[in-house]
Amino acid sequence: MIPLGPRDPGPVRPDPARLPHGSTTRFAPAPTGYLHLGHLVNAIYTWGIARSTGGRVVLRIEDHDRQRCRPAYETALLDDLERVGLVPDRPSLDELRAGPSPFRQADDDRPYREAVERLRAAGLVYACECSRATYAAWARATGRRFAGPGCPGACRDRRVVESHETGLRATLVPGDEPFDDLLLGARRGPAASDGDLLIRDRHGNWTYHLCVVVDDARHGVDLVVRGRDLLDATPCQIRLGRLLGRATPPAWLHHPLLRKPSGAKLSKADQDTAIRDLLAAGHAPADLLGFAAAAVGLLESPRPIAAARLGDLFARGHPGSSILSG
């Protein structure tokens, strides 16, 4: 269907005996482009694991970045999910279409403001005027990547005055955060891998990390299923969650990504893998799901899979290759 690069190395299928039962997981696209085959892989894991374990799928529209998100992309992604048969348990697609929703980040920023005030009250927030250029200049000058507490401009120590042109950072205690990945096993990583965590950017957007941690808590998400490109985000999200009062982090599963023949991950700029274009070209939803499942290694070869049967891919005794249609 589409030329793809070699698969990510490492395990593909979680041990069914290790998957938690009755969890709430989420599908959390940012409406910055059309859904593509990479999203479909994430959806296969998310819905498949939820359906095989009696769990629920929350759909969350991650439009915290007001400069990059477009309502038209959200409309398109809701339509694409419906056409492929990927229906969330909460909220319904029609609820999202009808208007403001607690599952759309841009509709109400009170939860993020409240979280920041909580951190501020604990003395953990400071204004930061560093830009990407500040980071790049620091890296050039030192030959290293900035990591650990603070920021390259030492904004915390300089007591930068907060304004609508400064970012905000949360102080993260340095050090590693261990976690268990349902596919990759025991992991650990630095909680402050880019310095203290940016929680509001210099354009006034609440950041991805802040929104995800706040939303996973308020939406009751206790199983996060996402691609391995976000593996490095996990330690700092666990740490931030703890600072915000979440003692028990969610369970984590980071799945392999689809890659282009060049090895780069698929992105929204790759129009040729957009789900809507593939549907318009006449590919059936079950064929697309089967193609994506095979491309990531969940099937030995592509076979049609209906969305309603995705749980079979993760069930005990799954044969790995012989399945599934209808």
Q: Which residues bind ligand GLU (CB under 6 A)?
A: 28-30, 62, 212, 226, 230
φ/ψ of residue 285, rounded to 5: -50, -45
32/134 with CB nearer ligand GLU: 32
Least spacing, CB of residue 49 vs ligand GLU, in Å: 14
Chain centre distance of CA 142: 31
> Of all residues in this chain, which one has the CB nearest to ligand GLU in the complex?
226
30/151 with CB nearer ligand GLU: 30
3-state secondary structure of 99: coil
Least spacing, CB of residue 271 vs ligand GLU, in Å: 17
Least spacing, CB of residue 316 vs ligand GLU, in Å: 26
212/295 with CB nearer ligand GLU: 212
DSSP one-letter string for 109-175: -HHHHHHHHHHHHTT-EEEE---HHHHHHHHHHHSS---SSS-TT-HHHHTPPP-TTSEEEE---SS
Chain centre distance of CA 114: 22
Least spacing, CB of residue 91 vs ligand GLU, in Å: 17
Q: What is the Cα–Cα distance from 255 to 23, expressed in whole angstroms?
A: 17
Q: What is the Cα–Cα distance from 233 to 227, expressed in whole angstroms?
A: 11
Least spacing, CB of residue 238 vs ligand GLU, in Å: 12
226/303 with CB nearer ligand GLU: 226
30/286 with CB nearer ligand GLU: 30
